[in-house]
Chains A and B, each alone.
Chain A
Amino acid sequence: MLTCPECHTHYPHGSLVCLNDGHTFVQNEDSRQMVQTILRGLPVARALELRVEHVDGITFSGTIPLIVIAKARLNGPPIRIGRRDAKASPTVFPEIDFHNYFVGSTERPPISRIHAVIEVIDNVAQICSASSVPTFVRRTGQATAFALTVRQYHELKHLDTIYLSSPEGRHIRLRVYSPAH
């Protein structure tokens, strides 16, 4: 707890400024040295946007809102697809999180907490199944989707369809759009 020496108002730990008189609780910190900013790019238009040069990454669309992965992020650590579960795994935050789709539902969610991951290997974006609940991929033009075994990598191509869980049952369907097309 912090107390303003001028107006004696109490503030929680971590407060920066007294809003009554502007007294600053920050001392001996060279804030100019540490300006940390986290950037996040979100193209708001969908498939057609990809034809515009500034879209750079892989875009999914389908039965869910658009999700965009910036190229810089794609080259970073694996991107996890799953659903956040604050009770069972409070420290796991999948980058592509579908927990909102199961809030309030009494049924068991069809996808795992960490269902699959996307990773760039040899400059190629690949999806890898990370769960015993299957991930299916259907390439455009093909009639059927095939199941990935656990830890099986599969190259992602433009217009691929990804099914999280079996397409015969409850599942989430994703469509891949690549900026190269």
Chain B
Amino acid sequence: MNHGHFLGARLQVRYTLGRYVTHVSGPTEVQLLLDIRPVTQNPGAPPLDLRLVIDRSTSMQEESCPGSGKSKLDMVKDAVREIIDDLGPNDCLSIVSFDQALRVDLKRTHMDAKGSELAKTAITSLVAHGNTFISDALREALSPNVINGHATKVLLFTDGDCTSDPVRDHTALVNLADQARSTQLPMLIYGTGVDYNWSLLRQLSVRAGNGSCTKHIMDMSELREHLRGELAYLRGTAVEGLEVSGLSQNGVQVTGVTRFMPDMHELPSFDSEKAHPYDFFKPSFFKDQSGALDVSRGQQYLINLLVEDYFLKECGLIEINLVGRTTGKLTLFKNFHEAFLVTGLFTKDANLASPVNADVLKIQLMIAAARLAREQNYEKAEDLYRKAGDYTTATTMGRLRELHRTGQRNAVDVARTSQTMTGKAVSMIYTRTPETKE
């Protein structure tokens, strides 16, 4: 009998430089693509602890998209029912719903036959009514202790901003994000429509860290597929609480760090005059609390470095540190701390420089495309995605450009969708289907 999955996973780190040999002429930029991935035949499929927070305010009664005939709340209910069917008896589920007040519809319950019935009954009983007040419900979802060995995630579905007391709600949400970070409890936020506070929820997920993210869904009928994928990724969790940091060597500065999973996020630069963010970069250092790592997606970074012009032959660029713990029931040897030095080769002779790495160039183009899409320049973004070889996202950008131009959908809706799609585009390059074996 193979107990490999109890003993921990193997972590593979692959790094690629923009050029294998870099021509140095004055301060020179070097790109480093880092791919961190658990490699295991059987990650052990940790039991899940899903905590659903569902908006049941009046606006959730509206049609999910024109002509669908189903309300947003109905779509959420359908997707959740399907998830309940996929959960096993060792998995746990809790449901909290909210309008201006919270209601605990299902306390944390194991999804055996009886638990599944209770969960479905709770979901069916949800009726859209009232205003929106998110923070109390989110606090309730975050409050139960994390069960050791469970892959835990809070899933929030909403379409509205707080209408009753926004100041108190927003302040509380910020505190709750800090709580989520300290307890290493990731949040996956799904927003739909144009009335919810996209910016606030994005900040919330960035602040919560540990793999939290916010996704905008134009058509709630897509939610089912989103959740199914998320469940598959969660089941492949092999490493928890991963923190990635880098210490640049003498003569090297970190000028930018972009994380790819679960969606693309450019780490902010450290500003000593402001309250500094948790995940940040500064010239000498970067740090990112990446959270759980699953075998399908792993974690990737593009790190931009600036090296001094005296670099010659092989030189150390940045020391990468990986701290985390493997999942599984065996507590012995769970924690790990690995460090390695990334070195690069440099030359003063331009003829000896290597051609640029195709993967690095592609990622750089996609980051530029994402920025253009964020500025609603969908046409240029489409071109760049095509240039990068991502024809799927290029087509999506073309469709969004048309929706934007013709006014078929609200511009805000289109903009949020584009951000979700561009965030997903880079991450999809590195996502393997959960069935793929190494």
Q: Which of A's residues lie within 8 Å of B, judged by CB?
A: 1, 11-22, 24, 26, 29-49, 51-55, 65-66, 84, 86, 90-91, 93, 97, 100
Asked if B121 is at the interface of the complex by the 8 Å CB criterion, the answer is: no
In the complex, the chain A residue whose C-beta lies closest to that of B293 is A44
Most chain B CB atoms below 10 A, which of A11, A16, A22, A93: A22
Asked if B372 is at the interface of the complex by the 8 Å CB criterion, the answer is: yes
Residues in B with CB closer than 8 Å to A36 are 16-17, 20, 354, 357
14 further A-B contacts with Cβ under 8 Å, apart from A34-B355, A51-B7, are: A11-B29, A13-B26, A31-B358, A40-B340, A41-B10, A42-B10, A43-B10, A45-B333, A45-B334, A48-B333, A49-B7, A52-B2, A54-B39, A65-B339
Contact indicator A19/B9 (Cβ below 8 Å):
no
Asked if B371 is at the interface of the complex by the 8 Å CB criterion, the answer is: yes
Q: Which residues 143-201 of B have a CB within 8 angstroms of A?
A: none
In the assembled complex, 20 residue pairs joining A and B whose CB atoms fall closer than 8 Å, in A order, are: A1-B26, A12-B29, A14-B29, A16-B18, A16-B31, A24-B387, A29-B356, A31-B358, A34-B20, A38-B14, A38-B17, A40-B15, A42-B11, A44-B8, A44-B326, A46-B8, A48-B330, A49-B333, A54-B4, A86-B250
Asked if B218 is at the interface of the complex by the 8 Å CB criterion, the answer is: no
CA distance A11 to B272 in the complex (A): 25
Most chain A CB atoms below 10 A, which of B10, B18, B24, B371: B10
CA distance A93 to B342 in the complex (A): 10
In the complex, the chain B residue whose C-beta lies closest to that of A31 is B358
Asked if B367 is at the interface of the complex by the 8 Å CB criterion, the answer is: yes
Asked if B277 is at the interface of the complex by the 8 Å CB criterion, the answer is: no
With contacts A13-B29, A26-B356 taken as known, whether A37 is within 8 angstroms of B10 at the C-beta atoms is: no
Contact indicator A31/B27 (Cβ below 8 Å):
no
CA distance A17 to B388 in the complex (A): 11
Most chain A CB atoms below 10 A, which of B12, B38, B343: B12
CA distance A100 to B17 in the complex (A): 24
Residues in A with CB closer than 8 Å to B39 are 54
B70 to chain A, nearest CB (A): 39
Asked if B337 is at the interface of the complex by the 8 Å CB criterion, the answer is: yes
Residues in A with CB closer than 8 Å to B13 are 40-42
Residues in A with CB closer than 8 Å to B41 are 54
In the complex, the chain B residue whose C-beta lies closest to that of A97 is B341
With contacts A22-B383, A24-B361 taken as known, whether A43 is within 8 angstroms of B11 at the C-beta atoms is: yes
CA distance A90 to B361 in the complex (A): 30
With contacts A33-B355, A93-B341 taken as known, whether A46 is within 8 angstroms of B31 at the C-beta atoms is: no
With contacts A24-B361, A44-B10, A97-B341 taken as known, whether A17 is within 8 angstroms of B16 at the C-beta atoms is: no
A10 to chain B, nearest CB (A): 11
CA distance A11 to B28 in the complex (A): 9
With contacts A14-B29, A31-B361 taken as known, whether A52 is within 8 angstroms of B343 at the C-beta atoms is: no
CA distance A35 to B172 in the complex (A): 48
Contact indicator A35/B357 (Cβ below 8 Å):
yes
Residues in B with CB closer than 8 Å to A47 are 333
Asked if B359 is at the interface of the complex by the 8 Å CB criterion, the answer is: yes
CA distance A49 to B38 in the complex (A): 14
Contact of A16 among B4, B12, B361 (CB under 8 A): B361
Contact indicator A54/B10 (Cβ below 8 Å):
yes
Most chain A CB atoms below 10 A, which of B18, B38, B326, B338: B338
Q: Which residues 298-342 of B have a CB within 8 angstroms of A?
A: 306, 313-316, 322, 324, 326, 330, 332-334, 336-341
With contacts A12-B29, A42-B10 taken as known, whether A22 is within 8 angstroms of B384 at the C-beta atoms is: yes
Q: What interface size band does chain B fall in?
A: 35 or more
In the complex, the chain B residue whose C-beta lies closest to that of A38 is B15
CA distance A46 to B331 in the complex (A): 12
Contact of B16 among A26, A37, A41, A42 (CB under 8 A): A37
Most chain B CB atoms below 10 A, which of A21, A44, A55, A84: A44
CA distance A175 to B29 in the complex (A): 40
A95 to chain B, nearest CB (A): 9
Residues in B with CB closer than 8 Å to A93 are 314, 316, 341, 343
CA distance A38 to B15 in the complex (A): 6
Asked if B369 is at the interface of the complex by the 8 Å CB criterion, the answer is: yes
In the complex, the chain B residue whose C-beta lies closest to that of A47 is B333
Contact indicator A14/B30 (Cβ below 8 Å):
yes
CA distance A39 to B333 in the complex (A): 24
CA distance A40 to B12 in the complex (A): 6
Contact indicator A26/B361 (Cβ below 8 Å):
yes
Closest 4 CB pairs of A and B: A45-B8, A36-B20, A29-B355, A14-B29
With contacts A35-B358, A43-B10, A44-B239 taken as known, whether A22 is within 8 angstroms of B339 at the C-beta atoms is: no
A69 to chain B, nearest CB (A): 12
A49 to chain B, nearest CB (A): 5
B336 to chain A, nearest CB (A): 4
CA distance A26 to B25 in the complex (A): 16
A40 to chain B, nearest CB (A): 5
Residues in B with CB closer than 8 Å to A13 are 23-29
Contact of A44 among B11, B28, B357, B367 (CB under 8 A): B11
Contact of B371 among A16, A19, A32, A46 (CB under 8 A): A19
Contact of A21 among B30, B360, B380 (CB under 8 A): B380
CA distance A17 to B380 in the complex (A): 14
Residues in B with CB closer than 8 Å to A52 are 2, 4, 7
Asked if B65 is at the interface of the complex by the 8 Å CB criterion, the answer is: no
With contacts A36-B20, A40-B12 taken as known, whether A31 is within 8 angstroms of B357 at the C-beta atoms is: yes
In the complex, the chain A residue whose C-beta lies closest to that of B367 is A19
Contact indicator A55/B365 (Cβ below 8 Å):
no
Asked if B368 is at the interface of the complex by the 8 Å CB criterion, the answer is: yes
